[in-house]
Amino acid sequence: MLPIAVVQAEDDVQRQRFSAEPIEAKLKELREAGEGLKYIQTIRKLRAYGSLTFRLCTGDFPSPGSPLTVTVDLQKLTLRRCDADGTVLVR
């Protein structure tokens, strides 16, 4: 029986609630081997794990009505400028 934290983490990866791309192969190996603790330890190293990103909204910078996304995690609040379709603009 898997602990609820492992089940939740696997579900988050499957639903693509954050990008696990850099370590997807490793996570798959750990899941198939039944290594729940190592799975959690590995996934927690991802920067986006445990963060919450809200739907596209608007802000006042650089001009009123500019589209942006808001992400909150345990250490910071991040505002990222986007196109109207939600694609993050890279500096």
Residue-wise pLDDT tens digits, 54-83:
889 999 988 899 999 998 988 899 899 998
Is the confidence at residue 1, as pLDDT, over 60? Answer: no
Measure Cα distances from 85 to 51, 67, 70 in Å. 21, 9, 15
Interval 20-33 mean pLDDT:
91
- Whether the model clears a pTM of 0.75, i.e. scores above it, the answer is no
Helices (H), the chain: 4-14, 24-33, 36-43
Give residues with Cβ within 8 angstroms of 6, minimum separation 6: 36, 39, 40
Burial of 14 (C-beta count, 10 Å sphere; 0-12/13-18/19+): exposed
